[in-house]
């Protein structure tokens, strides 16, 4: 429930917040004092009818994309043709399109639907991270139950083990890991620069030593594309150079220019392969320098077909600086494709990013802190290993209906964590992922309902406890 003034809002069966009023069930419902323009009105069809209509539409789209996907993979390179011409051709094909349903006029927060070969994604969306082709400690069936629409896998780690050739032989990541919903793979660029024991960066690419066995490898933009093609994700990222927090303007500019040059090579390679079932996202770099970010965005613009990403943030800089960069880019972003903020996933960053027009997020936070015995709850972080929960036989979060909260207490979870039982990390991981999905669902409903600032304010007011973030 969400209370705004004297009006009580509820969430219907298809994720839209409506006003409970005397005339509920027919006509239209608007926020008190709001304009009744077309974009600010929520249709009040009966949930049952709307659900059936939406299901029919979704099924038709899914079947059409599935058939086209199968035909292209079976018959080769030239079986897919664009449906439209000009700009529309760039933004949509048989496999990908983006519907922007509503933009909040006050904040720029957006609600949309990204159509992909493996299903529709309602945005804004949080993507759990499955680094090694698995979200640590969570079964795929439970991810679906929690609300996961898309997951991320890591190109660098899968290239190292088991090898992208193995994944290709298995039929791609979807078959390999038994996940039939959308998948996104990063380019491996961040890991090459952060995990490799030694690396040498040139305009040609990056020479690095494996973090596993020290073996030598060389990644070029073309090589990164080949690996991602073998992995077979729906969305693939361009190979980029992530400059470190603290880089000088000159250092950051050099990395940004190189990223732009590599993008051109990635795009050229990807287009030559004629794989329309994989959407390539460019990455905006430029460190914390607004002029470099703006320049990078302009260099990306000709290569934006289905989405665009912002990289190199949330890597150690204070959060206000990250928000300043997003503020500087908000009005410059293309409006007809999703915007992806890479590596960001704490509740406050999800809210603040959404308020600045970001559509997609990913982060390992949910599962990483779970393995350390920490939960995200409606009242703030809870460190269940603490002694205060030894005899606390209440649920982890009274407002959560996930499997963990419905069946177990803080005392039991504390016990599992303190004795090192893996089940404790599994339960907390599932809860944390569910929590973030519910947050994003709530933000989406608030955007559609026209009260996203109020939603954020109420969330911040409640989210306290042992530590906010």
Task: Please tell me the distance from the alpha carbon of residue 231 to that of residue 155, in angstroms, as a whole number.
Answer: 8
Taking 50 as the pLDDT cut, the residues of the chain under it are 1-55, 72, 74-90, 465-467
CA atoms within 13 A on the CB side of 228: 35
pLDDT at 211: 85
Residues of the chain with CATH 3.20.20.105: 110-363
**Helix segments in 32-188, DSSP class H:** 47-75, 86-91, 140-146, 155-160, 164-169, 173-176
Average pLDDT, the chain: 85
Q: Is 362 a catalytic residue?
A: yes
pLDDT at 44: 34
Q: How many residues does the chain have?
A: 469
pLDDT at 357: 98
CA-derived radius of gyration, the chain: 22
Chain-centroid distance, C-alpha 184: 9
Q: Is 291 a catalytic residue?
A: no
What is the CATH number that goes with domain 110-363? 3.20.20.105
Catalytically annotated residue among 120, 142, 362, 397: 362
Instruction: Say if residues 326 and 299 touch (Cβ distance below 8 Å).
Output: no
SS3 at position 116: strand
Catalytically annotated residue among 104, 164, 186, 234: 186
This prediction's pTM: 0.83
Bridge partners of 115, per DSSP, are: 97, 120
Task: Please tell me the distance from the alpha carbon of residue 57 to that of residue 298, in angstroms, as a whole number.
Answer: 36
CA atoms within 13 A on the CB side of 358: 30
Instruction: Give burial (CB, 10 Å; 0-12/13-18/19+) of 254.
Output: middle
Question: Residues 380-412: pLDDT tens digits?
Answer: 999 999 999 999 999 999 999 999 999 999 999
Question: Residues 155-202: pLDDT tens digits?
Answer: 999 999 999 999 999 999 999 999 999 999 999 888 877 776 678 999
pLDDT at 180: 98
Contacts of 198 by beta carbon, 8 Å cutoff, 6+ apart: 208, 209
SS3 at position 245: coil
Task: Please tell me the distance from the alpha carbon of residue 113 to that of residue 101, in angstroms, as a whole number.
Answer: 7
């Amino acid at each position: 429930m969400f209370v705004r003034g004297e009006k009580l809002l509820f969430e219907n069966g298809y994720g839209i917040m409506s006003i409970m009023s005397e005339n509920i069930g027919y006509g239209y419902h608007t926020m008190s004092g709001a304009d009744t323009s077309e974009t600010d009105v929520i249709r009040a069809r009966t949930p049952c009818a709307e659900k059936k209509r939406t299901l029919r539409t979704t099924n038709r789209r899914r079947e059409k994309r599935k058939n086209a996907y199968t035909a292209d993979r079976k018959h080769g390179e030239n079986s897919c043709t664009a449906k439209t011409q000009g700009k529309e051709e760039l933004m949509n094909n048989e496999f990908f399109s983006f519907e922007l349903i509503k933009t909040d006029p006050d904040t720029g927060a957006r609600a949309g639907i990204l159509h992909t070969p493996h299903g529709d994604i309602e945005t804004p969306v949080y993507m759990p991270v499955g680094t090694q082709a698995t979200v640590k400690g969570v079964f795929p069936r439970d991810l679906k139950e929690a609300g996961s629409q898309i997951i991320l896998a890591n190109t660098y780690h899968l290239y190292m083990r088991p090898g992208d050739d193995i994944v290709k032989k298995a039929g791609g990541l979807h078959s390999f890991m038994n996940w039939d919903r959308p998948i996104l793979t990063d380019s491996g660029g961040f890991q090459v620069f952060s995990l490799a024991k030694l690396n040498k960066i040139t305009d040609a690419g990056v020479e690095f030593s494996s973090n596993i066995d020290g073996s030598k490898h060389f990644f070029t933009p073309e090589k990164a594309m080949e690996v991602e093609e073998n992995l077979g994700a729906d969305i693939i990222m361009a190979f980029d150079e992530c400059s470190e927090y603290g880089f000088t303007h000159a250092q950051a500019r050099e990395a940004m220019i190189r990223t732009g040059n590599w993008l051109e090579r990635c795009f050229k390679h990807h287009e030559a392969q004629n794989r329309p079932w994989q959407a390539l996202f460019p990455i905006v770099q430029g460190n914390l320098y607004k002029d470099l970010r703006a320049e990078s965005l302009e260099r990306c613009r000709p290569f934006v077909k289905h989405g665009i990403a912002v990289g190199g943030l949330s890597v150690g800089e204070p959060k206000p600086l990250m928000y300043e960069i997003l503020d500087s880019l908000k009005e410059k972003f293309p409006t007809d494709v999703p915007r992806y903020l890479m590596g960001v996933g704490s509740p406050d960053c999800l809210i603040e990013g959404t308020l600045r027009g970001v559509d997609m997020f990913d982060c390992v936070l949910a599962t990483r802190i779970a393995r350390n015995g920490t939960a995200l709850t409606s009242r703030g972080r809870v460190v269940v290993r603490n002694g205060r929960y030894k005899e606390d036989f209440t649920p982890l979060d009274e407002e959560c209906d996930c499997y963990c909260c419905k069946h177990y207490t803080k005392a039991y979870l504390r016990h599992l964590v303190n004795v090192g039982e893996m089940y404790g990390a599994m339960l907390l991981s599932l809860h944390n992922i569910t929590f973030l999905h519910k947050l994003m669902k709530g933000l989406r409903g608030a955007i559609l309902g026209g009260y996203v600032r109020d939603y954020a304010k109420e969330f911040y007011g409640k989210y306290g406890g042992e530590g906010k973030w």
